[in-house]
Structure 1
Amino acid sequence: MPKHSHHPDNCLVFAHRGANTEAMENTRNAFDKALGYAIDGIETDVQLSRDEVAVLWHDRFLNKIGLDDKRIDDFDYHQLQALINPKSTSEVIMTLQDFLAAYRKRCRLLIEVKNRDWEPISRHELKIRQTLDLIGQNPEQRIMASSFNLASLVYAHQYKPAFPLVYNFETHQTIADARQLLNTHAFLHGLCLPIENLDHAIVDVLRDHGKCVAVYTCNSDTEINKALQLGVDILISDLPHKALMLRDQ
């Protein structure tokens, strides 16, 4: 058993890009459907349009609308509005500003900043500043930011030292990486681990450092129960209704 006992009831269930199996991910429809299940939080993704508007979109490319070779930053915001479900009232592309206005008071939020390898560092930093500026005051730390790009989180900490920042682990990273990271980047609020990497040992390392333990993406009964039994703080799922049922039963 892990050294630090956390009861499964204390685990917060976050909807991964909303209820994305029921509606187009990262849209108002997906978020509203997720909130219909009394979830604790929403995880979403931020990128910048070509004209530097922060919008919610996960993929590297616009493959979901048939533009496999085009990216969000190939288009201005008004062009994206015309491309992505323009006739819908609830599944159009959403700005981060509109998302925050609609949901920050309704649940907790985990906002992943998608900083890509092909972007210049200046654009990475702009995306961080825009995200944190739009969030603004966050006294109860109900909103966290995350990224797979560690340098972006270092910059975010320099920009707003008190803001809770979560580093997203890749599947190839190990417990040794976690130990080193927590020793060199003590400002991190926590780590978000792939469910494949989650075990007693890495949970204990995070608990020893007083850090938040988040895990993605838990969809099967086995994955959800594993996360619950190991006492994670945040469980991110494409099937939030299933995660809530297993947590609360």
Structure 2
Amino acid sequence: MNSMLEHSQPEKCQVFAHRGANREAIENTRNAFDKALRYAIDGIETDVQLSRDGVTVLWHDRFLDKIGMSGKHIDDFDYQQLRALINPDSDNEGIMTLDDFLRSYRQRCRLLIEVKNRDWEPVSRHHAKMRQTLDLIGSDPGQRILVSSFNLASLEYAHRYRVESPLIYNFETGQTIGDARKLLATHAFLHGFCLSIDSIDQAIVDLLHDYDKCAGVYTCNSDDEITKALQLGVDILISDLPQRALMLRDR
């Protein structure tokens, strides 16, 4: 069993609002985060991308289809251009920087920041994104801010850059408990894993808890999905419907 973690996992499953209250406002915006905090959520999950001029911004997809710019990418534009393109007339639903997000919400709830490092982007930008994210988080003695990624190499880099950072590895849907066992043996620094609701089961949750690791699950929206996650005893439940997850958890 790994004893590297300073804190044991929470007794009650923590509910995180997926990109804020994204069913009530535009995702990953101040309005979505503020609406999510009207509920008794434990945390907010959000996504970090990098603008062309190297500013960490909150955006889930690489593409800008959501604002009617098919074929255009978030990294095709500098930050000031993105401000002018994405809901420029709204202070609460325009594009938000990671810096602004942290200043506004780190004292109000826990945060789970997914760094969107994918193969389409040069590794140098992966590293820049991780460095900026960890530098902006800075000191976090209570480990209230978690950093996650589907890119294992990025998490390895993040650990070398700031060894104390709690890092979550996001499993792809095709990965198995065998992959988890190997990673627990080779990547003991990981704070935990986050798996899809379709692929998580009791065996992998128990395995993670045996190693004192956090077990997270994404994205639980139906009653069946939320109930499954709660019955498995996960530590973090990410949902587009955090108010529903809270009701089922606390009932």
TM-score, structure 1 as length reference = 0.96
- DSSP-derived class of the 1:100 partner: helix
Residue 113 of structure 2: SS of its match in structure 1? strand
- How many residues align? The count is 244
2:102 matches 1:78: no
1:66 aligned to which of 60, 65, 68 = 68
Alignment of 1:205-220 (within 5 A): 205-220=207-222
- Paired position in structure 1 for 2:4: none
Other-structure match for 2:164: 162
Shift of 1:68: 2.0
Specify the code of the residue in structure 2 equivalent to 1:237.
S
Q: CA deviation at 1:40?
A: 0.4
Decide whether aligned partners of structure 1 residues 9 and 221 sit closer, same or farther in structure 2, where only a CA change above 3 A counts: farther
Distance change in 2, residues 1:8/1:99 (3 Å): closer
Cα deviation 1:190-224 (Å, max 9, x = unaligned): 00010011111111111111100000000000000
Change (3 A) 1:233 1:95: same
CA distance 1:52–1:225, shift in 2 (3 Å): same
2-structure distance, mates of 1:8, 1:99: 25
- Consecutive unaligned residues in structure 2, runs of 5 or more: 1-7
List per-residue Cα deviations over 1:27-80 (Å, max 9, x = no partner): 000000000011100000001100101000001201110112111110000000
Give the CA deviation at 1:8: 9.8
What is the 5 A alignment of 1:129-208? 129-208=131-210
Q: Does 1:99 align with 2:101?
A: yes
In structure 2, do the counterparts of structure 1 residues 75 and 7 end up closer, same or farther at CA, with 3 Å as the change threshold? closer
Per-residue CA deviations over 1:61-112 (Å, capped at 9, x if unaligned) read 0111011211111000000000000011210000000000000000000000
Question: Matched residues, percent identical?
Answer: 75
Deviation per residue, 1:87-138 (Å, 9 max, x gap): 1121000000000000000000000000121211111100000000000010
- CA distance in structure 2 between the partners assigned to 1:127 and 1:57 by the alignment: 13
The question of whether the paired residues in 1 share the 8 Å contact of 2:150 and 2:169 is answered with: yes
2:13–2:236 CA contact under 8 A, matched in 1: yes
- Moved beyond 4 Å, runs of 4+: 6-9
Code of the residue aligned with 1:234 in structure 2: it is I
Runs of 5+ consecutive residues of structure 1 not aligned to the other structure: 1-5
Partner of 2:5: none
> How far apart, in 1, do the equivalents of 2:128 and 2:56 lie?
10
Contact 1:11 1:232 in 2 (8 A): yes
CA contact (8 A) 2:28 2:58 kept: yes
